[in-house]
């Protein structure tokens, strides 16, 4: 306790220096907290906007037909090549078994089989090219959040019932209940054949959705899974399985692991398809880490310089303490405690300032409705880590002054003090 009292006494006696370095630390830590939470929120919003409501991994078949060699004794499904050209649009016939196996993985939040292909939608004299997607609507909703993005009509697809994007609806002047003609390109995703449109029949528009993408809203049409299989002559097969993960950044690793288990399937992750986005996120993170590293370096140098001056100013007191029996290690601990206290006090103050900076930034940059530019989370862990790192940095910065103080000669500093 005496060593703690001595450390506090030294800080109080040099209150001006203590105040200035504490404010300097607070400013540095506030910048660190502000940047950390701001950039993390920005990156999360960018990822969510880009791939949040879309599949993180798409599974397709490499072969036509996909051979399955099932060993009942070992309960193992071996997927083997059957020859033929590589074509990811070939029917995926063993999708049900694979989906059941993948459903046991805790990393996955949703799995949706898809029977899709190109085609045309017609109303009156007007015809528009589209992408018809046969899905189990409840499963697809787990990925695309269609139910919450339905702007008109009912969340239903059934026999001869479809959901269309708002872009298509505006282009063809569609409302729920209208009838359209849907045709498919023969050979697209089904049996090889000439790419000639063939009328599949009349469909009723049950609802209109807005998935937030102009390209999607102007081309996608949701039909039932059975309807897609029939439309593109897939029998009981599908064109792909779409997977969504709880953690989007585990997609590439999981895809490569699953590729080893199912070598005759093609596993494509969003990271593989979006290299520019990953490069931007990586550059952003590196820039943030560099700035934070320099902030911590400035904090450490400030603490070290202040304590170095304190050693010179308090050399006589240090000599007296050593003459009274305080050990060399004890003298070192006095300055280590000072460094830790400076880091702790400054970082707590800086965390509070950082929180107010974030509040002010999002308050004054909010839109007319009061919504922030992008959602952020005030993660307590960020503040705890900032305080812990600043405290440790303070102790580390105090190491050299502490060592210098411990080496002071007792007789000389008292004599010449």
Cβ neighbour number for residue 48 with a 10 Å cutoff: 13
CB proximity list for 286: less than 8 A, separation 6 or greater = none
In the predicted model, what is the mean pLDDT of residues 126-130? 90
Claim: this prediction has a pTM higher than 0.85: no
pLDDT at 340: 87
In the predicted model, what is the mean pLDDT of residues 308-315? 69
Dist CA 166 CA 357 (whole Å): 40
Q: What is the pLDDT of residues 198-221, one digit of tens each?
A: 546 789 999 999 998 888 999 999
pLDDT at 414: 59
Q: Pick the more confident residue, 300 or 185.
A: 300
Q: Pick the more confident residue, 209 or 263.
A: 209
Which of these ranges, 22-31, 86-95, 252-261, 300-309, has the smallest mean pLDDT? Answer: 86-95
Dist CA 171 CA 158 (whole Å): 23
Q: Find out whether 108 and 267 touch, Cβ atoms under 8 Å.
A: no
Dist CA 192 CA 182 (whole Å): 20
Which of these ranges, 36-45, 120-129, 256-265, 338-347, has the smallest mean pLDDT? Answer: 36-45
In sequence order, the β-bridge partners of residue 130 are 119
pLDDT at 176 over 90: yes
Dist CA 163 CA 219 (whole Å): 11
pLDDT at 68: 38
Q: What is the pLDDT of residues 96-105, one digit of tens each?
A: 989 988 887 8
pLDDT at 171: 92
- The share of the chain scoring above pLDDT 90, in percent, equals 23
Q: Find out whether 219 and 194 touch, Cβ atoms under 8 Å.
A: no
Q: Which of 75, 62, 402 is nearest to 262 (CA)?
A: 62
- Given pLDDT bands bounded at 50, 70 and 90, which one contains residue 417? low
Q: What is the pLDDT of residues 132-148, one digit of tens each?
A: 999 999 999 999 999 99
Q: Pick the more confident residue, 70 or 124.
A: 124
Dist CA 31 CA 398 (whole Å): 22
Mean pLDDT across the chain: 80
In sequence order, the β-bridge partners of residue 243 are 57, 111
- Given pLDDT bands bounded at 50, 70 and 90, which one contains residue 73? very low
pLDDT at 196 over 50: no
Which of these ranges, 37-51, 195-209, 399-413, has the smallest mean pLDDT? Answer: 399-413
- Given pLDDT bands bounded at 50, 70 and 90, which one contains residue 193? very low
Q: Find out whether 153 and 209 touch, Cβ atoms under 8 Å.
A: no
């Amino acid at each position: 306790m005496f060593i703690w009292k001595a450390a506090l006494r030294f800080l109080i006696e040099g209150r001006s220096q203590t105040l200035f370095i504490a404010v300097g630390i607070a400013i540095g830590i506030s910048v660190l907290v502000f940047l950390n939470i701001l950039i993390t929120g920005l990156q999360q919003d960018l990822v969510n906007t880009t791939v949040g409501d879309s599949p993180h991994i798409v599974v397709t078949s490499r072969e036509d037909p996909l051979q399955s060699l099932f060993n009942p004794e070992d309960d193992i499904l071996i997927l083997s090549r059957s020859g033929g050209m590589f074509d990811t649009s070939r029917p995926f016939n063993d999708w049900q078994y694979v989906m059941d196996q993948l459903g046991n993985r805790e990393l996955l939040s949703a799995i949706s089989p898809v029977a899709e292909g190109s085609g045309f939608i017609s109303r009156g004299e007007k015809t528009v090219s589209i992408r018809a997607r046969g899905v189990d609507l409840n499963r697809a909703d787990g990925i695309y959040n269609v139910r919450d993005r339905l702007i008109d009509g009912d969340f239903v697809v059934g026999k001869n019932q479809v959901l269309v994007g708002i872009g298509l609806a505006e282009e063809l002047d569609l409302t729920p209940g209208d009838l359209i003609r849907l045709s498919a390109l023969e050979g697209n995703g089904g049996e090889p054949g000439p790419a000639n449109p063939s009328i599949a029949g009349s469909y009723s528009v049950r609802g209109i959705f807005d998935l937030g993408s102009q390209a999607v809203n102007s081309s996608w049409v949701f039909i039932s899974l059975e309807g897609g299989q029939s439309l593109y002559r897939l029998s009981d097969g599908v064109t792909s399985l779409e997977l969504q993960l709880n953690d989007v950044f585990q997609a590439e690793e999981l895809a490569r692991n699953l590729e080893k288990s199912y070598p005759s399937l093609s596993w494509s992750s969003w990271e593989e398809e979006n290299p520019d986005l990953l490069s931007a996120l990586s550059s952003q993170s590196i820039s943030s880490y560099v700035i934070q590293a320099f902030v911590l370096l400035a904090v450490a140098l400030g603490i070290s310089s202040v304590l170095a001056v304190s050693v010179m100013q308090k050399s006589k007191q240090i000599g007296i303490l050593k003459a009274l029996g305080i050990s060399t290690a004890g003298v070192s601990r006095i300055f280590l405690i000072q460094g830790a206290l400076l880091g702790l006090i400054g970082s707590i103050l800086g965390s509070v300032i950082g929180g107010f900076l974030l509040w002010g930034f999002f308050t004054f940059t909010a839109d007319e409705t009061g919504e922030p530019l992008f959602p952020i989370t005030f993660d307590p862990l960020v503040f705890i880590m900032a305080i812990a790192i600043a405290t440790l940095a303070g102790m580390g910065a105090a190491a050299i002054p502490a060592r210098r103080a411990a080496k002071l000669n007792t007789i000389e500093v008292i004599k010449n003090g």
